[in-house]
């Protein structure tokens, strides 16, 4: 049976890495962040309020194209960040920071909600939950040019929106992974534990959590 999983979480939490490792282990097909360059970014950074709407519409269109490609793919897939996060976290954060006008944001939300209603949801969302301290540390370690100016308060704002989104997400089951305590890159046993919890969740088990004694053993 085909399965569709999406991995969600804040910047620097390790989504792409987990997607790669899980797909290597399970033999599934990965779908990563869009590679297409946003043609509005230069204008957006010059004047966020004027170009925030255009930029978010581009991201929304790209995410919808990926969602369609996932549905057409015959294999089980794992996705790095979903269309839901773009709207519920990043677009919402942009509105908080006055990077998009209230009128444009309302139009964006109406478009997103109208389209999202017809999207078949994933079978499972894996939410990588980590503190801002962990995120800052991991961002520094990977040392990407475009991430060097990311501020802690920006990550904290995204974290608040992520927590609120996950708390109210009902389209499919959610597996919350304590990413502060698990390093699945350095320790294969951590990946083993996550893979086992995923299978438990996909098998229909109602409550799947990472128990303190399990984390202590690894």
Please say if 80 is a catalytic residue.
yes
CB atoms within 10 A of CB 41: 12
What whole-number distance in Å separates Cα of residue 139 and Cα of residue 157?
Answer: 16
Catalytic residue among 47, 80, 86, 98: 80
Distances (CA, A) of 44 to 3, 91, 143, 193: 37, 13, 24, 42
Backbone phi and psi for residue 124, each to the nearest 5 degrees, phi listed first: -160, 140
Distances (CA, A) of 15 to 5, 10, 128: 12, 8, 7
What's the residue count for the chain?
A: 218
Backbone phi and psi for residue 45, each to the nearest 5 degrees, phi listed first: -70, -25
Catalytic residues: 80
């Amino acid at each position: 049976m085909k399965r569709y999983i999406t991995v969600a979480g804040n910047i620097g939490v390790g989504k792409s890495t987990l997607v790669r490792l899980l797909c290597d282990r399970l033999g599934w097909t990965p779908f990563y962040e869009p590679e297409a360059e946003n043609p509005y970014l230069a204008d957006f950074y010059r004047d966020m309020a004027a170009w925030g709407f255009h930029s978010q519409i581009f991201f929304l269109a790209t995410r919808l194209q990926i969602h369609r490609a996932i549905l057409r793919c015959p294999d089980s897939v794992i996705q790095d960040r979903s269309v839901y996060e773009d709207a519920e976290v990043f677009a919402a954060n942009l509105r908080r920071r006055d990077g998009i006008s209230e009128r444009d944001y309302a139009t964006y939300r109406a478009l997103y909600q109208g389209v999202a209603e017809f999207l078949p949801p994933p079978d499972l969302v894996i939410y990588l939950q980590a503190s801002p301290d962990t995120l800052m540390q991991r961002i520094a370690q990977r040392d990407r040019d475009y991430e060097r100016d990311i501020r802690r308060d920006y990550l904290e704002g995204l974290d608040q929106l992520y927590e609120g989104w996950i708390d109210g997400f009902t389209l499919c089951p959610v597996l919350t992974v304590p990413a502060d305590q698990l390093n699945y890159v350095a320790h294969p046993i951590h990946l083993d534990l996550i893979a086992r919890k995923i299978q438990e969740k996909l098998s229909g088990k109602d409550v799947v959590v990472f128990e303190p004694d399990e984390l202590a053993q690894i």
